[in-house]
Amino acid sequence: MDITVVGAGLGGLAAAVALHRSGHTVTVLERAPHLRETGAGIGIMPNGVLALDALGLGAPVRERSAPLGTAGGVRNRHGQPLLATDQRAVEALTGAPVVVVPRRWLHGLLAEALPAGTVRTGRPVDAVPISDAVPTSDAVVVADGAGSRLRAALFPGHPGLQVSGEFAARAIAPAPPGVPLAPGELLDHRSGERFGCMPMADGAVYWYATWRTPDAPADPTARHAWLRARRADWHPCAAELIAATAPGDVHVVETARLAAPLPTFALGQVALLGDAAHAMTPDLGQGACLAFEDAVTLAGVLDTTADVAAALARYDALRRPRTTDLMRQARRMNRILTLRGPAGRLRDAALRLLPRGPATRAMAAQFRFDPRPGQRSPIGT
Ligand SMILES: Cc1cc2nc3c(=O)[nH]c(=O)nc-3n(C[C@H](O)[C@H](O)[C@H](O)COP(=O)(O)OP(=O)(O)OC[C@H]3O[C@@H](n4cnc5c(N)ncnc54)[C@H](O)[C@@H]3O)c2cc1C
């Protein structure tokens, strides 16, 4: 089949790799003049690694990451565990580790898995069917991201993207010498702000910080100083990692989610994938992982029948319940993790009481993915 993918982000490229590996002829149309990916590092959960395994890219991703060890989970701002999850147990339960890699590297890995000429940059697509300038396709995959224009055109009554009011700064820094890391996510019950850090290969650390207040300066240098001062009485790794990062290397975004789930991911010959289909706030670290799952499932259903509309309807049936559930979970997690004042203190006390084993198993259940369409891995079933 000839298949056009709109958007060359992590989701669109993963779809192109999956479809290419299934023997289809794929063209990726990307609006930007050059292939690019920003945002420092990315955490790939076990389900995302399993999906990358199915794309033939799991091995380099595992090799590129540093072992996370057993420590993880949620801590108070001083780094004391509130809910420790056992990463090694998660790996044993799911069959894959959590990995943290540079985004640009991962994007390049996907792009390099495609034949030369597959991705055409400087090619914005604003309507489906795609204009005559593009080869006629048997199917179109809409992967133009959270702010998808095609989604808006295909679902004119849908409320679209909704900003969360929470900002996230992300960067990669060298591990600060002499300062132990507090890996996982640190919560501040006073402000609802968070700080996360995870070791990467080559002595680097991926870190992020969140806030809701409008007080953050817009100028990157002033904002860097503001953020550092705001983390001064947290675990020392927070301020040290911020200090070890040049202000220009900190990427800041306001996070966003779809205001409501889409009624379908398949309209005739057109399928939606990745953030275009199910944008959620990054509270579960699942956005790109689910896009990789989408990609594997999409290629799998197209392998089973020559009836494209029927295959895409099956893709919708397989993907929408899971992604809608995780959209809900991400929203709930965001509410819980950003509680402040008395509610934040109560949250911390409740987290301390949760037993580690069941919490680890509940986490592992979220990471289930079987690349065979319609199958579920045994985790959590
Ligand atoms: C702060 C933050 C932290 C995150 N952390 C994680 C994490 O740890 N783990 C994880 O799995 N996920 C994480 N995510 C989510 C993840 O980044 C996204 O889910 C993922 O990047 C979505 O990929 P995508 O390809 O669907 O969309 P995008 O990456 O947005 O790609 C869309 C592409 O389409 C192109 N495009 C747009 N419009 C058009 C058009 N009209 N025509 C042609 N091309 C077009 C764009 O230029 C872009 O290249 C995080 C997100 C944020 C904001």
Q: Report whether 107 contacts 37 (CB < 8 A).
A: yes
User: What is the rounded CA–CA span in Å between residue 283 and residue 168?
Assistant: 11
Could you tell which of 17, 27, 31 is best to mutate to test the pocket of ligand 1, judged by most ligand atoms within 8 Å of the CB? 31
Tell me the pLDDT tens digit for each residue of 163-204. Answer: 999 999 999 999 999 999 999 999 999 999 999 999 999 999
**Atom 29 in ligand 1: which residue has the minimum CA distance?**
9
299 lines ligand 1 (CB under 6 A): no
Q: Which atom of ligand 1 is nearest to the CA of 273?
A: 26
pLDDT band at 130 (very low <50, low <70, confident <90, very high): low
Neighbouring CB atoms inside 10 A of 153's CB total 13
3-state class (DSSP) for residue 204: strand
Gap from CA of 341 to ligand 1 centroid (Å): 33
Q: DSSP labels for 11-58?
A: HHHHHHHHHHHTT-EEEEE-SSSS----SSEEEE-HHHHHHHHHTT-H
Residues, the chain, total? 381
The C-alpha angle 77, 348, 238, rounded to 5 degrees, equals 10
Q: Report whether 48 contacts 292 (CB < 8 A).
A: yes
Q: pLDDT at position 381, please? A: 30
Tell me the pLDDT tens digit for each residue of 28-44. Answer: 999 999 998 877 999 99
144 lines ligand 1 (CB under 6 A): yes
* 108 Cβ contact list (under 8 Å, min separation 6): none
Among the listed residues 11, 6, 317, the one whose alpha carbon sits nearest the alpha carbon of residue 153: 6
Sign of CA pseudo-dihedral 257, 285, 103, 120:
negative
282 lines ligand 1 (CB under 6 A): yes
**Atom 15 in ligand 1: which residue has the minimum CA distance?**
287
pTM for the model stands at 0.96
Whether the pLDDT of residue 261 is over 60: the answer is yes
Could you tell which of 34, 47, 130, 275 is best to mutate to test the pocket of ligand 1, judged by most ligand atoms within 8 Å of the CB? 275
Gap from CA of 78 to ligand 1 centroid (Å): 32
**In what helix (H) or strand (E) does residue 294 lie, and over which residues does it extend?**
helix 287-304
Q: Report whether 10 contacts 143 (CB < 8 A).
A: no
For 207, how many CA atoms within 13 A lie in the half-sphere containing its CB? 28
193 phi, psi to nearest 5 deg: -85, 160
Whether the pLDDT of residue 303 is over 60: the answer is yes
- CATH number belonging to domain 2-68+95-161+258-337+356-366: 3.50.50.60
35 lines ligand 1 (CB under 6 A): no
Q: Which atom of ligand 1 is nearest to the CA of 289?
A: 11
43 lines ligand 1 (CB under 6 A): yes
Q: Which atom of ligand 1 is nearest to the CA of 255?
A: 53
| Percent of the chain whose pLDDT exceeds 70 | 95
Per the prediction, the chain carries an average pLDDT of: 93
Whether the pLDDT of residue 338 is over 80: the answer is yes
Gap from CA of 358 to ligand 1 centroid (Å): 32
